[in-house]
Structure 1
Amino acid sequence: MIQSIVHIALVVNDYDEAIAFYTKKLHFTLVEDTYQPEQDKRWVVVAPPGSVGTTILLARASNPEQEPFIGNQTGGRVFLFLNTDDFWRDYNEMVSKGIEFVRAPQEQAYGMVAVFKDLYGNLWDLLELNASHPIAKRIEGRG
C-alpha cells in the first residue's frame, strides 16, 4: 500500500495576503489558485521551493466559527516544520524580510532549529536536520 499526505489546510484571513507572504517572504511556489464559484471560495495551494511532498492548502475562514483559529490552529504549539538545506542562509534572509523569530537558533541533537511566526501568528520550526536523522534520510531517499 502506498499513501501520502497531500495537503495540510491552513486557515487564513485572506487568500491574497497569505499568497503574498508565502511566495514573497518564504519563496514558496504557488501551485494552484482556482476559483470555485459554486462555493464562492478559492482552492489555493502553495509548496516550499524544491518540495515534491506535502503542500499547504490556504483555506480562508468561511464562517465565524473558523475565524478564532486563524493563527492558532494548534493552541500555541509549533504547527508546521520547514526543513532546509541551509539553515543560516534561510534564517538570515527571513530575518531581513521581517519575519519574527520567537525562539533563537539552537543546535539540537537532531540539527539546527529556530521558531518563527507566519503572518497570522502560527508557529513554525525552521530546521536543518542532521544528515543522520531518520527524516533527513527519507527526504534524501536513503531511508
Structure 2
Amino acid sequence: MITLVVRDYDEAIAWYTKVLGFSLVDDTALSEAKRWVVVAPEGDGARLLLAKADGDTQKTSIGNQTGGRVAFFLHTDDFPVDHAKMVEAGVHFLEEPRHEPYGSVAVFEDLYGNKWDLLEFK
C-alpha cells in the first residue's frame, strides 16, 4: 500500500473510483476529522491509502509528492481500450501514447496533478 496525500477524502474517492475505475476497499472513520480510505485498481496491484493533508507542510505536497516526476504506474493488459476509456472519462494526458521497445505508455495526471504512467508491457 502507498500513501497518497489528498485535499479531501470524498473528492479523491470520487475521482479514483468514477474516473479511474478503482474499487473503494475501505472507508473507516478514525476520528471526526480522520478516515482510513483505501482504493485499488482492478487485479493484483498496490493499493492507495488516501490520506487527507494535515497542516501546511502536508498540503504543499498535494499533487507533487515526487518533485514533478512520474510517481505511479498503472498497468493495463489492453492499452488502447483503457486509454480511450480514460480520455472519455476526462483524464488529462500530458502526451500522446508512445510505443517504446518495452511496450506502450502515456503520462497522465490525477486530479491533483500527480503524474502517472498508463503502461502496457509487451
Aligned counterpart for 2:41 among listed residues 15, 40, 48: 48
Identity %: 58
Please give the TM-score of this superposition, normalised by the length of structure 1: 0.83
Aligned counterpart for 1:117 among listed residues 109, 114, 118: 109
**1:104 Cα deviation from its structure 2 partner:** 1.3
Aligned length: 122
Say if 2:4 is the partner of 1:10. yes
Q: Which residue does the alignment assign to 1:28?
A: 22
Q: Which has the larger radius of gyration?
A: 1
Relative CO higher for 1 or 2, CA cutoff 8 Å, sep ≥ 6? 2
C-alpha root-mean-square deviation of aligned residues, in Å? 1.0
Structure 2 runs not aligned, ≥5 long = none
Provide the rounded CA distance (Å) in 1 between the counterparts of 2:104 and 2:18: 24
Structure 1: 4+ residue segments shifted above 3 A: none
Please give the TM-score of this superposition, normalised by the length of structure 2: 0.96
**1:53 Cα deviation from its structure 2 partner:** 3.3
Q: 1:63-103: CA deviations, max 9, x gaps?
A: 11100100000010000000001001110111111111002
Aligned counterpart for 2:61 among listed residues 50, 69, 74: 69
